[in-house]
Amino acid sequence: MEKLKQRWNIKSNFQLFIIFLVFAITGSSAAKLAGPLMDLLHLTTENTNLWLYWFLRIVLIFPIYQVLLVFFGWLFGEFRFFWDFEKKMLKKMGIKL
């Protein structure tokens, strides 16, 4: 854990706990929200090829996750960490803000 705290420039175990909590809540929320959005787009397993359905659902989860990560980071008082994390992740993917 100490290596992670140094890498992310985190001062306390409580801050590390909050960051892990935000990642957990964000991942769960993004996956949960993708279902109703797929329904809104009228894409279900009944009317869409199964491979295409899951590909589109995973692709849909990505932007939801990005937005929720910053939102929950802000909600838990770690906006700066998650905003910097987000910019670094998108930069590695070739997306510049």
Segments making up each domain of the chain, as ranges: 16-86
Q: 96 pLDDT band (50/70/90 cuts)?
A: confident
Residue 19 reports pLDDT greater than 90: yes
In whole angstroms, what separates CA 71 from the centre of its chain? Answer: 10
CA 52 vs CA 39, 44, 77, 81: distances in Å: 14, 10, 38, 35
pTM, to two decimals: 0.84
Give tens-digit pLDDT for 48-81: 899 999 999 999 999 999 999 999 999 999 999 9
Q: What is the C-alpha separation between 37 and 22, in angstroms, rounded?
A: 22
Quick one: average pLDDT of 23-44?
93
Mean pLDDT along residues 28-39? 94
**Encoding tokens for residue 39?**
């329904």
